[in-house]
Structures are given as C-alpha cells and as structure tokens.
A and B are shown apart, each in its own frame.
Chain A
Amino acid sequence: METFLQQLINGLTIGGFYAVVALGYTMVYGVLKLINFAHGDMFMWGTLAGWGLLTTVLAGLTDMDLVAILVTAVLVMAFIGMMGMTIERVAYRPLRSAGRLSPIISALGAAFALQSVARNVSHARWRTYPQGLLKGLPTLRLTDEVAVSGLQILMLVICAAIMIGLYLFVQRTRVGTAMRAVSLDHNVSRLMGINVNRIISIVFFIGPALGGLAGLLIGIYYGSFNFTLGWVFGLKAFIAAILGGIGNIPGAVLGGFILGISETMVVAYGPDIGLANASAWKDAIAYVLLIAILIARPTGILGETVAEKV
C-alpha cells in the first residue's frame, strides 16, 4: 500500500507534465485540426532555454532560486511562445488550405529543424541543471514510507494552476470564446467578426508558452536532459491528448494523468506480474494504452462522436 501511494504521487507528478504539454497539442488541434509535431520540440526548447538561462545569465542568482526561476520562467515562456507564433506563421499558415498531408510534413520538418538546432547548441550531450535548485522546500511526510517532496507539490500545484487557469480562460474570456468559435468553424467565425488569424496566433503563443514552462519545470524536476527529450516526451503527451479526446481540454488533463500513473505503476509493479524488465518497456505502455482505448472509444475517453457532415 505504501509503494502504491508513493507511486501514485510520482505518477501524478509525471502525469501533470504530460497534461500541460498535451494542452498545447489539444488547443492547436482544436483550432487547426493539425498535429503540431513541433510542439514536443518546443517543449524541449523550454528545457534547453531554461538551462541556458540558469547556467549562464542567471547563474549568480542561485542564492535566490525562486526569483531566478521566476525570471527564467517568464523569459522562457515569452521565447517559446514567440517561437510557436513564428512557426505557425512560417510553416503552417501558408498550408492552411493545402489538404491534410502537406501540413504534417511541414510540422515534421519544423520539428526536425528545432531538434537539429538544439542538438548543435547542446553539442548532443546530456546537460544538467544547476544543483540545489528549490532544495529548501519542505518535504511532506504522509506516513513513514510515503513522502511527497516539496518539488513534487510545487510541480503539481503549478500544473493544476495552469490547467484551471487555461480552462477558465477558454470558457470565460472573450478571446477564449473566440477560440472555441474558431475551432468549430473558421468561416463562420470570420463572419462573426473574429480575426481568425489573430486567434490562431494567440493559440500558438499560449500552447507553446505553457509547453516551454513545462519544459523548464521538467528540467528542474529531473535535473538533466538531452535534445531527444522533446520527441519522446512530446509524442507521449500527444498520446495523452488523444486518450482524453483531442480538442478537449479536460480530456487532455485526464489523459495526461492516466498516462503518467499507468507508466509509473507498470514500472513499479511490472516485475511482480511477470514483466521482468518493465522499465525497458516503459515507452511502449503509452502506445499500448492508446491502441486499447481507441479500439474501445474511437474518439478518446471524453471525445464526442462527431457525425460526419455530408
């Protein structure tokens, strides 16, 4: 039972990251019906940019790590958000009326380009975040065996805040309403006086900015990363978005948590149920889960069955 609780907490933390990255995928998919393959790499760029800032410019601020991290977070979010808007402008907007194959290639191309630059910037090595960031946070002991580190609590709180904030933003504000309108129908939205291009740009700012923030957080949480992080993690986050029903914000959150928890659980309990080296199979869990759920519910857990227009 202790292991279970501990794994549940670990799973929730990972799931929170998946969920935040999945939000970016799901928002973009909502408005453009496009799998933004570059999103995972933008997320990785968040980790990379955070590492760059914390090890060079802000290295002197390690005494006040919260301040340093806050400044980094703001800069990273602005940078990655701009990156997202640029990519949309350059690689996706010209292809908006070009069928469904071309944007996928373009998105993959953007992902390759981002990954390649990151690889050369980091010299293809594993990079480590400064030691001792946020180590002062208290650890919460639930029982003797089960402990929640302050870092985990902070991550969970931030992820929850992002999700709730985004949900309220999309549901309550004018821009959020416009986003929902655009995701239903571009042309009609345009007739209603919505500047569709602007809304899409905003989506491409918010999604990557949140992804970049998640990247920074995951860098702090794990302490080290390399340039392939975005691809693997991004793909799994996308799967999380699909699990919950893509285009659906609560769905992405649900999918993220399901994925995070099942991964940690399989790795923890795999040896007990006969899967000897469960951690080697960790990456396959997401895919198996995806196939299982899509066979049962073709549009994801919370996805609505859309009748096709004739």
Chain B
Amino acid sequence: MNQSLTRLVRPWMWQLLLVLLVLALPAMPFMDRSRTSLAVLAGIYVMLGLSLNLIVGYAGLFQLGHAAFFGLGAYTAAILSIERNITILATIPIAALVAGGAAILISKPILHLRGDYLCIVTIAFGEIFRIGVTNNAFGITGGANGLFGAGRPELPLPWLEPVPALVLALVLALHVFLARKSGYLLRWGGAVVIAAGYYLPPLALDHKPLFLISIVMAVGVVVLGAVLRDHKVSARGQMLALVAVVIVCGLIMAAGADSLVTEIEGNLDKYFRVEDPVKVLGVELTPVVFKRDARPYYYLVLAFILVTVIGMRRLQYSRLGRAWLYVREDQLAAEAMGIDTTQVKLAAFAIGSAAAGVAGVLYASRFTVVAPESFNFLQSVIMFCIVVLGGSGSIPGILVGTLGMVVLPELLRDVGPTFLYKGINPVVILAVLLGGYLYGARHRLSGATVESGAIAGAFVLPPLLLGEPALSVIGMLMVLVAIIAIPLVRRRLDNALPWVAGAMALYAVVMLVIGKGLGPAVEREISAFRIMDWRDGLMGVAMVVMMVLRPAGIIPERRRGIVVSAVAEANASPQAT
C-alpha cells in the first residue's frame, strides 16, 4: 500500500506542488500585509543570493562587499527616476551596466590577490561605498538620509484595449520559441492548440479583462510544460496534462465570467493605478503603475528570480561556467589548461554585480527610499551567509539560506517567550517529557526511561504544583542544560543515576521552596525579554552551529566528476595552500 503510494507520487508532483504553492503564496490566509511584504523582501534577497552565488559559489572568489553593488543599482535607479523621471523598470539595463562596470573597474587591480586579501579588499570597497554615499560624495546621493520618492514599477499592458491578434501572436511566439528551444510538447501543433485553448474563451465571451488570465495562463503553461519535460513525462502525458489544465480553466472562465471580471477590475484598482493609454507603434498600451500593496511586487520579483535562475543555470553549464569551476577547484591547473583566469574571474565579478544591480532596482522600486544603511557591511554578511549557509554553489541552498537569514529573523520579531507558558503550557510539558526521553534514549543510559521521567517530573512539577506557569520556561531551559551536562557527568561516573536523581530532587525541592516568590519575577523578566534585542546573537550562534554541523551548507552543491571531488578533498585538508 505504502509502496504503491510512493510510486504513484512522482518527484515532479512535489515540484509542481511547490510551484503552485509559491504562485499562490500571497493568497494564503496567513499572508497578511507585512508577511507579503516580507516575501517580496525575501525575493530580493534570493536575487542577491543568486548573484553572489555566481561569484562565491561558482567562481570561488570571496566577496564580502556585495551590498555596494546592490546599492549602486538602487541608487542609479533612484537617481534616474527622481532626476530624469525615467520609469524605473527602464533603468534596469543602466543599473546593471553601472554595477557591472564598477565591478570591473574595481576588481581589475585586485583580482590577483589571494583569497583572504581579496576578502578584506571587498570589505574595504563596500565600506568606502557606504561612507561615500553617507557623506554625499557625488552630491547626488542625498547623504545619510538617502533619496526619497523613487518611482514605482510601471507596466505597459496591451490588454485593456486589446489588439487580440497581436497578443495572440505574442503568446504563440512565446510558446513556439520555448517548444523549439526545449522540445517540450508537440512543437508547433501543440503550442497552437493550447494557446488557442485558453485564449479563445475571453474572446468568445467578449470580456476583455479575462485576457489578463490568459496571459497568466500562458506563462503558467510554459512553466508547467518545462517541469513535465524535465521529469521525462512522455509527450502524450504532457499534452494530456496541459490540455486538461486548459479545459478546466476555460470552463471556469466561461462559467464565472461576470464575477471574474468584477473581481479582476476590483483587484486592478486595488493594486494598480491605471494611467491614460499611450500609442506606441500603432498599438494602444495602457500603463499600469504599481500601488503600495506588496502582492504585485511579489510576482514581479518572482519573474525576475525565474529569469535569473534560468540565466544562472545556463551560465553554469556554459564554457564560462566550466571555466569558473576549474578556477575554483584549482587555479594553477586551470591556468595550465589555457584558461585566462583573470578574465574569467573578472567576468564572474561583473555578471554577479550586474545582477545585484538589478536587484537594487527592484529594491528601490519597492521601497522608494534608498538610504546608505541598507547597504552596510551587515547586508553583505547576510548575503554571504545566504550563499554559504545554504550550500555555496547550490540554487535550492539559496532559498533555504534566505529563509534562515531573512525570513526567520523577521518572523521571530513577533514571537516572545511568553507564548511558552501562555495558552499552550501542556505542550511545553509534553515537549519536556519528550526531550527527556529522547535524551535518555540517545545516550543509552541505564534506566533511561526512569531517568527521563524523573528529569521531566522534577522540571515540570514545581510550576504545576505552585501554579506559576512562567516557571515552566526555566524547566525547559533546564532540560537543555541537562541534555548537555549529563553526558559529561556520566563520562566521569560509572553510574550516573543516583547523582542525576539526587540533583533533580534537589532542584525540585529548591524550586518548590523559592518558586512562589520566583514566579512573578520570572514572568516580569520574560515579558521584558524582546527577542529582537537578541536577534543578531541568535543568528550568530545559529551560524556557528550550522557550520559546525554541516560545513558544506544545508543543501550542498552536487559535485560533478571524480577528479573534481578528489581535488576538493585535497583542498579541504588543512594544509592546502
């Protein structure tokens, strides 16, 4: 039963589920305004992680000043948007050029430096950038307060006053391009059938806003097709799946056309400011400008991440990407093989920094304020940690790293330790019991069950008997102490049981005696405890623990080839020069 179930659930289904989850995230009930905003910020950090991964993960260069290039992009976008009134998404190429160009100028003279020297020089550049913009070195960066009023993204949409043939042609072209490129689906025929499938309903129903759904579906179908193809689903399977999706969506559109249109128009008003249409090359385009709400940004950033991931993957397996790998694993050998190591490293710095510049534009357009403190050394460290904690060189690792370094600390902001004893106290007791038992089982103590029961009892009973729930927090802390301390005691003593039991009993008695007075004090301390004060410290401890437990990161990059891994092992030895 179980076996057949696992066979039924293919890996691509998980991937598909993940994709759907990511797409539907802003619509989830737990995503309030601030969490959606956080998701957008996390997306920007994923972009930064991807860009830094190119430098640190692929090419193996140290870069602890990445925030400077992020900042260059953000400042370029903000200045152009404020001073020259250029729509902010149009500044992307310029920002990328500025950031990439600066990277080339800066890194050219320092690339020959060995690892740690390079590391410190990149820190130096990052700091010089920050000090420079803080002191308003160029007279256009607004000093320590930064720049206000960068524009929000503006998308020229053709669908409000649609030229259906033109849009259809565009969608078709997209499908055909991808079909030819990656061989998904049944090439031309399949593309035409599917595109027509979701494009015709709005046309037939004469509800123009439904075209928006069509466009979204076009992108969705392309992604779905790529996922199916990646997992070697047969052409017929792909076709069936896609046609099914199209039919279902077509039916939904047809059935709920009126309410969908109201919905779309309502949402449009909520998220976008629709401007007067402009004519470009005979086509009427309606610029829609993002409002403050984070949801549209979520999809915008998602699109950018998608493009970046595809770009990075293609780069990784290109001639340049392989050259990076060789330089990373053994620079001398790479040089001997005729790789121009300086050029290759320069390329890594330039491309990675340009991508960071693009992330900077997104940042500027999201927050509309660009200030020096957003690009300080801590930001560089966070980016570096995103790459290395997740597993340097690995793209899924970047997602995990971002969750750990950006999302988790922000979510912890609301969590105080009071929740431990308010409301879910029985859970705490259970956790303590379980912790005690796990501890016993793990260290194979004689009478582990008895001991863990005794430990749990000693920690749990006093707060219960005294009616001081706050004390259970101390109980939990004591379990942690016990898990660490008891093996140490045990190593020195043949039979730890009487000692442990004695200590527990003593603890319980002491707690029972002083607990009544201690309770309110502990409660006061705990409610005064603000986890934000300790956030950096917890992050630091987590960084150390993670590295000690998993030195190669949480999801390490899969090493390619035997030779490469042999070299990696040799490099990992402490004496490698």
Main secondary structure on B side of the interface with A: helix
The segment from A57-65, A160-168, A234-242, A259-267 found at the interface with B is A234-242
Select from chain A the residue with minimum beta-carbon distance to B549.
A94
Which A residue sits closest to B112, measured CB to CB? A298
Question: Looking at chain A's contact residues, is the secondary structure mostly helix, strand, loop, or mixed?
Answer: helix
Residues of B within 8 A of A113 (CB): 536-537, 540-541, 544
Interface string of B531-570 (1 = CB under 8 A from A): 0011111111111101110011000000000000000000
**B125: which A residues are within 8 A, CB to CB?**
287, 291
Q: CA separation between A280 and B119, bound complex, in Å?
A: 25
A108 to B128, Cβ gap below 8 A? no
Given contacts A95-B548, A116-B536, contact A105 B543 (CB under 8 A): yes
B254 interface contact, C-beta 8 A: no
Point out the residue from A95, A108, A187, A239 that lies within 8 Å of B575, measured CB to CB. Answer: A187
Say whether B551 contacts A99, CB under 8 Å. yes
A308-B332 contact in complex given A287-B125, A288-B128, C-beta closer than 8 Å: yes
A102: interface (CB < 8 Å): yes
**CB of A283 within 8 A of chain B?**
yes
Residues A91 and B548 in contact in the complex (CB < 8 Å), given A97-B573, A186-B574: yes
Q: How far is the CA of A116 from the CA of B135 in the complex (A)?
A: 28
Nearest-CB distance from A1 to chain B (Å)? 30
Nearest chain B residue, comparing its CB with the CB of A98:
B551
B388 is an interface residue with CB less than 8 A from chain A: yes
Contact with A along B59-94 (1 / 0, CB 8 A): 000100000000000000000000000000000000
Contacts of A70 in B (CB 8 A): none
The answer to whether B120 and A290 have CB atoms under 8 Å apart is yes
If A186-B574, A281-B135, A288-B128 touch, whether A95 touches B551 (CB-CB below 8 Å) is yes
List A254-310 residues whose CB lies under 8 Å from chain B: 277, 280-281, 283-284, 286-288, 290-291, 294-295, 298-299, 306, 308-310
Q: Does B109 contact A (CB under 8 A)?
A: yes
Task: List A contacts of B577 (CB < 8 A).
Answer: 306, 308-309
Shortest Cβ gap from A227 to chain B (Å): 10
Q: Which residues of A contact B547 (CB under 8 A)?
A: 91, 95, 98, 102-103, 105-106, 109
Residues of B within 8 A of A98 (CB): 547, 551-552, 572
| B: number of interface residues (CB 8 Å) | 52
Binary interface encoding of chain A residues 98-135 relative to chain B, with 1 for a CB under 8 A from any of its CBs, else 0? 11111111101111111111011000100000000000
Does A235 contact B536, Cβ atoms closer than 8 Å? no
**B131, CB-defined interface residue at 8 Å:** yes
- B120 touching A239, Cβ below 8 Å: yes
Give the contacting residue for B534; candidates A104, A116, A288; CB below 8 A. Answer: A116
Q: Does A246 contact B (CB under 8 A)?
A: yes
Shortest CB-to-CB span from A244 to chain B, Å, is: 13
**Least CB separation from A29: chain B residue:** B116
B147 sits at the interface (CB 8 A): no
- The docked-state distance in angstroms from the alpha carbon of A186 to that of B577 is 12
A85 to chain B, nearest CB (A): 15
With a cutoff of 8 Å between Cβ atoms, the chain A residues found around residue B571 in the complex are 99
Cβ contacts A28-51/B at 8 Å (1 or 0 each):
010001010000000000000000
Sampled A-B contacts (5; CB under 8 Å): A109-B547, A112-B543, A120-B534, A290-B124, A298-B113
Closest 6 CB pairs of A and B: A116-B537, A112-B540, A109-B543, A98-B551, A113-B540, A287-B124
Q: Which residues of B contact A (CB under 8 A)?
A: 56, 62, 109-110, 112-117, 119-121, 123-125, 127-128, 131-132, 134-135, 332, 381, 384-385, 388-389, 392, 533-544, 546-548, 551-552, 571-575, 577
